Structure 1
């Protein structure tokens, strides 16, 4: 999609609240937060070739830190937000330093193990996290005096952040760093022989993904005004990983498409089917069988074939 197409899509999304009810506006906010979260994981899975099963820790940790700073210390959003992003990114740096000592299946298991440590703290450290009851009573920020309690205002706020995040990711993957990151994915030994610090490049990608996951976590806790340990669970990590794979890992549009699909299935299928996770699993099995590279690459390939037939 060219620049004009991106601007047109942004304008259409910005106008949606004017023609829809509050339910759909809130659903749109959830989708946009999921898009940011999936895009952050895509840096690891799609561009670095590092499959993580513990990425939910950064969304959940960010949400918990922001909630604790507000409820336990009475800190305002202007100060709490940067502290939250910094603290979560630092944790990501430490976890990356540990997990990147391994590769392949061992890396995946290390990310899972580290996330389970934080998930356990979320449930057991009741004096801070309130355990299974979660933390509630939070408020949304009011930048420049804008009331974010209004659904439309919050949707536009999240849309702006999403656009900035996607622009940053696009610039990053098209930069020399992005090229070197893909090089570590495809030709690790050759990159090492050429003098590149493969571990350092991957660690930088890990930290960046953690930071973007923290951004999604802030928006998440602002939206729900509540956080529960389940946000740190393996299920949450698996859902975002499925979003990336089903949409098309290693593409800019793929994770966004996959994230929107997951949110739609969660919100609509769960209202009609008790075991909606089975439907979610079935849909993703179908996608993998029909479009092995994901929805976005699959649609592009189909479009290309149709264009060639017309010629």
Structure 2
């Protein structure tokens, strides 16, 4: 299963590498890059929601912490990119390690509410601590030089990072830790009875998820070169959860599909109508009713059903007769 997932990932990477050659202009290339960035953020949410069964409404805090740290380190202190990037991700991981000690004392709806509260605390700090974050005016970064100055170069960088994180999640899903995470999701009491430390498994997944969200936060800054408290808001966290649900909870590539759906509606459909949120709501209603398991699992189910019906119409495959050998006298 892990080998099949890696082969699928390789095919998708090759297809995604040809995207800049097919798009008509820089606007659509920017949208494709946004899909990769938000898709990676959705992958971080899916790691705890899909594999551990813990839905978070405060995950944008890790995206914003890494984004603010990267912006402040490069603009205020003059750190080079090669030093600011790992420092920003490390700060996001540290925040995840701290928040996990608080949030993982509970589960279910209580976990949802605690993550929401923690996310709002971080948002409030970004909004009120004007001396550090510049408040609602946000922080702008100058244009980057070299590879990052090119839209194509930035796209391939985001593609490489997103592919690496997807490969990590694919390997993790097929590892003993990934199996224990899914066991904790489905049967936490039975896993505890078998001797597994449920809290440690969830904590490891939460911290790793915060790290991936931090990487997405750095890519976010490389793409937009601006961050404000809105980046840490409940809206961003909710959109990531919707991306995961739309694409397929607990699937490897579902979050990317969900991110593509949301980003396209926000950037393309909004150019034609101001009622694109209504259109987004209708699409999600369709997904919930028709393919409640998500777009990718639902498409696979429909393809299997269609193949079964076509095979039934063709009838059973005739078995060729075996020639009977004559007995020799």
TM-score w.r.t. the length of structure 1 is: 0.95
Change (3 A) 1:138 1:121: farther
Query: Residue 85 of structure 1 aligns with which residue?
Result: 89
Residue deviations 1:199-222, cap 9 Å, x none? 000000000000000000000011
Aligned to 1:147: 147
Partner of 1:188: 188
Matched, 1:11 2:14: yes
Return the alpha-carbon distance in structure 1 between the equivalents of residues 138 and 187 of structure 2: 45
Higher mean Cα deviation, 294-303 or 266-275?
A: 266-275
Unaligned 5+ residue runs, structure 1? none
- Paired with 1:51 and 1:283, the residues of 2 have a C-alpha distance of 21
Aligned to 1:306: 306
2:88 matched to 1:57?
no
Given that 1:138 and 1:226 are in contact with CA atoms closer than 8 Å, whether structure 2 keeps it comes out as no
- Separation of aligned partners in 2, 1:97 and 1:138: 37
**Offset at residue 278 of structure 1 (A):** 2.4
**Could you list the runs of 5+ residues in structure 2 that have no partner in the other structure?**
312-329
2:37 and 2:158 in contact (8 A); partners too: yes
Number of the residue aligned with 1:128: 132
- Mapped contact 2:56–2:112 kept (Cα < 8 A): yes
Partner of 2:294: 294
For the residue of structure 1 that corresponds to 2:293, the secondary structure is coil
Separation in 2 of the partners of 1:81 and 1:152?
Answer: 20
Report how many residues are paired: 307
Match of 2:277 in 1: 277
- 8 Å CA contact 2:9, 2:167 repeated in 1: no
What does residue range 234-245 of structure 1 map to in structure 2 within 5 Å? 234-245=234-245
Does structure 1 residue 103 correspond to structure 2 residue 107? yes
For 2:275 and 2:109, the matched residues in 1 are separated by 29
Deviant stretches of 4+, over 6 Å:
none
User: CA RMSD of the aligned region, Å?
Assistant: 1.3
Q: 1:295 to 1:94 in 2, by over 3 A?
A: same
1:93–1:136 CA distance, 2 compared to 1 (3 A)? same
Q: Is the 8 A contact 1:248 1:297 kept in 2?
A: yes
In the alignment, is the contact (CA less than 8 A) between 1:70 and 1:138 conserved in 2?
no
Which has the larger Rg? 2
- Structure 1 Cα separation of the partners of residues 5 and 72 of structure 2: 42
The question of whether the paired residues in 2 share the 8 Å contact of 1:85 and 1:214 is answered with yes
Residue aligned with 1:48, SS: coil
Query: Kindly tell me: are residues 184 and 283 of structure 1, through their superposed partners in 2, closer, same or farther at Cα, counting changes over 3 Å?
Result: same
TM-score (norm 2): 0.90
Kindly tell me: are residues 298 and 24 of structure 1, through their superposed partners in 2, closer, same or farther at Cα, counting changes over 3 Å? same
